[in-house]
Structures are given as C-alpha cells and as structure tokens.
Amino acid sequence: MSRTPDFVKYAASIVPSERQLRWQETEFYAFIHFGINTFTNSEWGNGNEDPELFNPEKLDCRQWAKVCQLAGMKGLILTCKHHDGFCLWPSAYTEHSVRSSKWKDGKGDVVAECAKACAEFGLKFGVYLSPWDRHEPTYGSGEAYNKFFKNQLRELLTAYGDLFCVWFDGACGEGPNGKVQEYDWEGYYKLIRELQPDAAISISGPDVRWCGNEAGVCRKSEWSVVPYWHSNQELIASASQKDVTKPPRKINPTALDLGSRKAIKKCNKLIWYPAEVDVSIRKGWFYHPEEDYSVKPLSKLMDIYYNSVGANASFLLNIPPTPEGKIHEKDLETLLSMGAQLEIDFNENLADDSVMTDSQHLDSKHTGQAALSHEPDTYWHSGEDPDGAELVLDLGDEYDIDKIVLGEHIKTGQQVEKFSLYAKINGKWKKLASETTIGYKRICRFSEIRVRYFKLVIEKARCFATIAKFEAY
Ligand code: FUL
C-alpha cells in the first residue's frame, strides 16, 4: 500500500461549485457573434460605426434557437456587445445601440428576442459582454468606465431572465482616446454573483477556463483541478487575441500539462477550473459572405465534439448570423446534420439493464452496478487503494459497439489519472483504449466490435476512484 502524498490528497479534495456542475452538464452550446460587424463585414469594429447600419430586416432568433436545439446544443451565448461598443439591447447608458439603428425604428431589442427564443426551445441563455469598448468615451478613465460597465452589466443581469453564463474575453486594448482601462474584475464578479448567482463566469472569470486556443483542440489530459494562477486576469489577457488578424490557434506548448502530479506538486493553491473549447463554424467569428463556402464540414465538427465533450471539456461552437438576421443555409445544413449524427451516435445506450461487477467497492451503496444508474449521485466508489480496481460490464448478449462513455462522480472530485479499457474477444481481454483523465466525461472510440464483456481498469487514481457514467453505443 503506497502512501498518498499530501499534495495529491489536497488536489483530490477540490470539488466543483453547484454552478460549475450545472455549466458542465450543458456540454455543447452555441456562441452567436452578431452585431455592427455583421453589417460592416468585419471582425473587430473600431467604435465609429454608424448605428444606422444595423438593420437585420428578417431577424429570426427563433430560427437560431431552433437550429441550435436541433444540432444537439443545450445553450446559447449572445455577443450583446463586442469590442466596438454597439449594444444589441437599448442600454440606458449609451446611444450606441439598437435604439439608434434603423431596425424596428429603434424600438427593437435583440437580447430580449434571443432570450425569449431560447426559453421557447429549451436552451439555457448566456451573455457575452466585451469589457473592451472602443466607442465609450469614459473607457480608459478608471472608475467612470467601471461604473458604466457595471451599469450595462446590471441591465443584462436583470432584464432577460436566468443566465447560465456570463462570458468575458481577455481582450483589453485601447479605447477611443488611446487609453487602456483597468478593469474592476472583482466588482464585476460581485455584481454577477449578487444578481445571477447560478451563472458561470467564463474565461476572464473564476468558473470556466479557456482551453488556450481557437482551433478546437483541448489537451489529451484535461484536468479540472489546476493551479490557482491559471485564473489570473493578466495571464488570460496575455494569452488572448491581441490583433484581429491573429487569433490564438494553438495551445502554448508550455501549457500542455496543467493538472498532472508534476504540474501541481509545487503549487499551494488549487482550484476547480474546467476547460471550454470555443471555436467558430467558419474562419471568422462574425459573418462574412466570402466564407459561405468554407463552413467547417460535419466530420470536423464531430471531431471537435469528441475531442472536447469527450475529453472533459465543453464545446462552445460559434455560429454567425447573416445581415438579414438568420443563420445561413450552409451553416444550417452542417448543424442539422450534426444533430442527426449525434442522435445516431448516441441512439441507444446498450449498457442499460446490464450487469456490472467490481473487484472492490467502498460499501454496498457504491458497487459496480451503481455505475450504470442514471441517477447523478448513484455511482461506483472504489474505496481506498484504487490502483488496479476493475469494473466488468456484462451486456447479457453480444452487440456491435464502437464507443464507451465514462464519467467520474465529479462532485467528489477528479481522481482518475490513468485507465485502460478492454473488450473480451474470443475469451481474451483485448485493450481498446488507454488514457489518463476521465473527469466529467471521457468518450472512448474504437473500431466497431461485436462484444458482450467490457473491462475498465483504473490503473492510477488520486485518493479513490468513482464511476458515475458507463454507457455503451
Ligand atoms: C476574442 C475576440 O477578440 C474575438 O473577436 C471573439 O469574440 C472571441 C470569442 O474572443 O477575444
């Protein structure tokens, strides 16, 4: 029996907040980049755009929400204000908004229409509000701008129902007068906690970590327990996009390992900070007609899905509506086929009504069988000395299978560091996968096999191991 080092015990004791758990369950959700840039065919506006230009004559937020729902998404985050400062809602604190536009004679509110459509189609709703504001004259002045920003934030936090997420990016450039603003992050967070306590504050925030690139890849071992300094604002800002033409495409190689024993050993403060993969369905974040024929194909999106949702991260997929105010048919086609593909891929969990035995368990409530339950708090628990613990799944008959979905009971922490998955073929155990982390979800994919028995071996875990999800497709 090896003694678990104290720093490993500490890491194993870090658990998610209730709001982080709810966020994690959202798994796959949409980013909608829509605003004045949609009408100027640009990615970053400079703040001098004429609000009159904003006129989405056929705006159809119901179409957005419906398409997202059919694509298999569970939420939607709208860019209520991007770096150009133009507000998609009639903010009382600036004239630079839909109120000064042609659209609906200045009487429209895109945020309201979008929130309503999300509610209708069962999607959670979230807001993106850029702290960097290239229009607002008080930007760069310190307190005055922070007050202005909090006022706008308050409008969004109070008028549009429950929010599942407030998304802040790390971009912090110069304002209209050449000054850079010092953001009152703590003040912004306090306001969000007060008015929307269930909303996760993402990226430049304490609840959700940016995976580190905009290319749709996360780490092979994505830990949700990482050193505290990864939530440091300056660090996030320095890794963020600095120039409109140069989005951060790759994970910084020095940041490939955030959570292994080696990475956390010397750190005296750890936090639960799970990863989100954000990527656009097109090259740009906003709509550009010249990109109509370079919408990412289904195969690419499915790969990103499996490498994010299937690797302990969430998947935030950006879809940019056209100046008409609708999702373009090219994006629509891919999104609908993605929804259909996900339905096919996860059509029937063949592990339902099966038998799961274990080599060890904590007590009679936490046996292998409990891993098959759909109750979130019914799970297998190895008890002490988890290394080498095994679970064997008997499907009762042979089935054609090419995916096993695993999940830890993350409410009790992220524990598994290394595992292998086997299938019994002609009486012998054949290794199908060997990975490190599981976390909230790990999807193991392999070539289809006809099989009745699977075996999961926990090769290494921190203080104990849990499995709350074990599905076969
Ligand atoms: C970045 C922004 O600069 C991009 O325009 C986009 O909104 C992306 C999601 O975040 O920081």
CA distance 353 to 373: 9
* CATH code assigned at 391: 2.60.120.260
Q: Are residues 83 and 222 in the same domain?
A: yes
For the CA of 132, the nearest atom of ligand 1: 3
Nearest CA to ligand 1 atom 6: 285
In a domain, 1, yes or no: no
Residues with CB under 6 A from ligand 1: 43, 169, 171, 240-241, 278, 285
For the CA of 241, the nearest atom of ligand 1: 11
Q: Are residues 155 and 210 in the same domain?
A: yes
* CATH code assigned at 140: 3.20.20.80
Q: How far, in Å, is the centroid of ligand 1 from the Cα of 303?
A: 22
Q: Are residues 79 and 222 in the same domain?
A: yes
For the CA of 318, the nearest atom of ligand 1: 9
Which residues, 6 or more positions from 50, have their beta carbon under 8 angstroms from its beta carbon? none
Cβ atoms of 391 and 438 closer than 8 Å: no
Domain boundary among 345, 364, 384: 345
Residue 108 C-beta-side C-alpha neighbours within 13 Å: 25
At residue 381, the pLDDT reads 98
Q: How far, in Å, is the centroid of ligand 1 from the Cα of 110?
A: 20
At residue 248, the pLDDT reads 66
pTM of the complete model: 0.96
Amino acid at 179: K
Whole-angstrom Cα Rg for the chain: 23
Q: Are residues 247 and 384 in the same domain?
A: no
| Residue in 117, 121, 125 with CA at minimum distance from that of residue 59 | 117
For the CA of 33, the nearest atom of ligand 1: 7
In a domain, 132, yes or no: yes
In a domain, 386, yes or no: yes
At residue 302, the pLDDT reads 98
- Name the H helices within 125-204: 143-159, 185-195
pLDDT tens per residue across span 126-143: 999 999 999 999 999 999
Among 84, 241, 242, 286, the mutation site with the greatest number of ligand 1 atoms within 8 A of its Cβ is 241
What range defines the domain where residue 161 resides? Answer: 6-345
At residue 237, the pLDDT reads 77
Q: Are residues 313 and 368 in the same domain?
A: no
In a domain, 30, yes or no: yes
Q: Are residues 247 and 391 in the same domain?
A: no
Cβ atoms of 383 and 445 closer than 8 Å: no
Quote the number of domains for the chain: 2
Q: Are residues 133 and 203 in the same domain?
A: yes
Amino acid at 94: T
- Name the H helices within 196-272: 233-239, 261-264
At residue 277, the 3 state secondary structure works out as strand
Q: How far, in Å, is the centroid of ligand 1 from the Cα of 241?
A: 7
Burial class (CB in 10 A: 0-12, 13-18, 19+), 144: middle
Which residues, 6 or more positions from 198, have their beta carbon under 8 angstroms from its beta carbon? 18, 19, 22, 162, 163, 164
Q: Are residues 99 and 155 in the same domain?
A: yes
Q: Are residues 306 and 423 in the same domain?
A: no
pLDDT by residue for the chain (473 residues), tens only, comes to 568 999 999 999 999 999 999 999 999 999 999 999 999 999 999 999 999 999 999 999 999 999 999 999 999 999 999 999 999 999 999 999 999 999 999 999 999 999 999 999 999 999 999 999 999 999 999 999 999 999 999 999 999 999 999 999 877 888 888 888 999 999 999 999 999 999 999 999 999 999 887 778 889 899 999 999 888 877 777 777 777 777 666 666 457 899 999 999 999 999 999 999 999 999 999 999 999 999 999 999 999 999 999 999 999 999 999 999 999 999 999 999 999 999 999 999 999 999 999 999 999 999 999 999 999 999 999 999 999 999 999 999 999 999 999 999 999 999 999 999 999 999 999 999 999 999 999 999 999 999 999 999 999 999 999 999 999 99
- Name the H helices within 285-416: 298-308, 329-345
Domain boundary among 289, 312, 345: 345
291-312 burial string, b = 16+ CB within 10 Å, else e?
A: beeebbebeebeebbbbbbbbb
Q: Are residues 117 and 249 in the same domain?
A: yes
Q: Are residues 466 and 412 in the same domain?
A: yes
Q: Are residues 86 and 60 in the same domain?
A: yes
At residue 457, the pLDDT reads 98
Q: What percent of the residues of the chain are helix, what percent strand, and what percent coil, each to the nearest 5?
A: 30, 25, 45
pLDDT tens per residue across span 87-138: 999 999 999 999 999 999 999 999 999 999 999 999 999 999 999 999 999 9
In a domain, 306, yes or no: yes
In a domain, 350, yes or no: no
Q: How far, in Å, is the centroid of ligand 1 from the Cα of 233?
A: 16
Q: How far, in Å, is the centroid of ligand 1 from the Cα of 7?
A: 36
